[in-house]
């Protein structure tokens, strides 16, 4: 897997690169990272910090209920965008778990024990499916598994090495993170660690579909990025930058 981009990272440390988010569009900041955990394989990637007071977050389907396309294909009509893959999918190519965008139900099979990114207005949070009652009352929902970080604490996670897509949410801030192959707990620690330790500082973090599904598409005047993955996905989390 190759992640090529303009380098916006800041200084280094023995454990990894100190994240230095730099604005790349109104409401969107970007950072690169290279982590070298003592007890796991090194990994690297990109993080995007999104201010929902400025930028717009959407869940965009690939097509019909049983359609899959790459993230780049999904966002082809957008002139300026940051997008990652979102829902897991079943053998019929349907999104697994709840998937909602602006009152449209894109996936209806709520998973009670799965985590969920929920956006209401300009506020976002990560919860579990069992706590979502009227799903169409929310502006955006996408479910994933496992919850990597809960209230700042790394969870007990199954050891697994895979490319990763994750989302963090707290108030008006949502963070996308994509990485090369990373061990689950080492990746979660990176998400939970504060910036002074080279981490992202996520209070709550949710694992989205990963492995060959991990994809990233960035089309901005200040930054171009493309991570293709190996197959199509049912939907994408899409950020449209705010106006200057």
Tell me the average pLDDT across 195-204.
Answer: 93
Is residue 209 included in any domain, yes or no?
Answer: yes
pTM: 0.92
pLDDT higher than threshold 80 for residue 105: yes
Is residue 50 included in any domain, yes or no?
Answer: yes
Identify the pLDDT of residue 1. 36
Domain count, the chain: 1
Name residue 169's beta-bridge partners: 174
Identify the pLDDT of residue 66. 86
pLDDT in tens, 151-182: 999 999 999 999 999 999 999 999 999 999 99
pLDDT in tens, 117-133: 999 999 999 999 999 99
Q: How confident is the model at residue 17 (pLDDT cuts 50, 70, 90)?
A: low
For residue 23, count CB atoms less than 10 angstroms from its CB and return exposed for 0-12, middle for 13-18, buried for 19 or more.
middle
Is residue 196 included in any domain, yes or no?
Answer: yes
SS3 assignment, position 237:
strand
Is residue 10 included in any domain, yes or no?
Answer: no
Q: What span, in angstroms and rounded, lies between the C-alpha atoms of 126 and 200?
A: 16
Which structural domain, as residue segments, surrounds residue 159? 22-171+184-229
């Amino acid at each position: 897997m190759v992640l090529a981009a303009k380098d916006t990272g800041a200084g280094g440390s023995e454990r990894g690169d100190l994240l230095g988010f730099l604005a790349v569009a109104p409401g969107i900041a970007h950072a690169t990272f290279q982590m070298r955990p003592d007890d796991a394989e090194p990994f690297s990637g990109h993080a995007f910090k999104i201010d929902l007071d400025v930028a717009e977050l959407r869940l965009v389907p690939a097509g019909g209920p049983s359609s899959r396309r790459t993230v780049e294909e999904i966002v082809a009509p957008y002139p300026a965008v940051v997008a990652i893959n979102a829902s897991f999918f079943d053998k019929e190519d349907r999104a697994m778990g709840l998937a909602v965008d602006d009152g449209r139900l894109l996936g209806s099979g709520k998973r009670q024990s799965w985590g969920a990114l929920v956006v209401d207005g300009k506020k976002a949070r990560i919860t579990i499916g069992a706590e979502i009652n009227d799903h169409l009352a929310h502006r955006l929902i996408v479910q994933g598994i496992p919850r990597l970080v809960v209230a700042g604490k790394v969870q007990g996670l199954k050891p697994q090495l895979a490319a990763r897509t994750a989302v963090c949410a707290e108030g008006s801030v949502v963070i996308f993170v994509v990485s090369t192959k990373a061990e689950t707990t080492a990746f979660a620690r990176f998400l939970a660690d504060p910036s002074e330790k080279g981490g992202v500082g996520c209070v709550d973090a949710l694992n989205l579909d990963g492995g060959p599904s991990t994809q990233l598409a960035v089309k901005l005047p200040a930054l171009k990025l493309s991570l293709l993955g190996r197959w199509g996905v049912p939907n994408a989390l899409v950020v449209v930058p705010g106006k200057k």
